[in-house]
Amino acid sequence: EVQLVESGGGVVRPGESLRLSCVASGFTFGEYGMSWVRQVPGKGLEWVSGINWNGKSTGYTDSVEGRFTISRDNAKNSLFLEMNSLRVDDTALYFCVRVGQDESNNNWFDPWGQGVLVTVSS
């Protein structure tokens, strides 16, 4: 069974940092791209960041560019999101997702972890 388990969430003050982790199991982690998607409670989904299978290609949504860094350790089946200079509007449930991809570079998210809550509050 494919599983994604996030950890590292918590309550921090504006300007502080947090590192999210996601441990994958049930598939060959190093063969897939991965992403982080977040959701403010009661609101919609927002793609945050993505990384390709070998870590050499990354992308970010504009609002986190320069503050967040995505990375991975294929030997440990792990995905990370380093979040610096956190803001109140970064408060959300953060999902770790596996990226399905075909030979034409079309992508979709499957499956999703259960999410980890990040709260930024003074």
Partner 1 sequence: SYELTQPPSVSVSPGQTARITCSGDALPKQFANWYQQRPGQAPVVVIYKDTEKPSGIPERFSGSSSGTTATLTISGVQAEDEADYYCQSSDYMGKYPWVFGAGTKLTVL
- Contact code string over 81-100 relative to partner 1, x by CB under 8 A: --------------x----x
Report, in Å, the least distance between residue 73 CB and partner 1.
21
Report, in Å, the least distance between residue 114 CB and partner 1.
5
Contacts for 103 with CB less than 8 Å, ≥ 6 apart: none
Tell me the three-class secondary structure of 49-105, residue by residue.
EEECCCCCCEEECCCCCCCEEEEEEHHHCEEEEEECCCCHHHCEEEEEEEEEECCCC
- Contact flag: residue 50 with partner 1 (CB under 8 A): yes
Which C-beta is closer to partner 1: that of 42 or that of 122?
Answer: 42
Is 77 exposed, middle or buried (CB count within 10 Å of its CB: 0-12, 13-18, 19+)? middle
Among 23, 47, 55, 119, binds partner 1 (CB under 8 A): 47
Structure tokens at 71: 């990375």
Which C-beta is closer to partner 1: that of 8 or that of 59?
Answer: 59
- Contact flag: residue 30 with partner 1 (CB under 8 A): no
- Residues in contact with partner 1 by the rule CB under 8 A: 35, 37, 44-47, 50, 58-62, 95, 100-102, 104-115
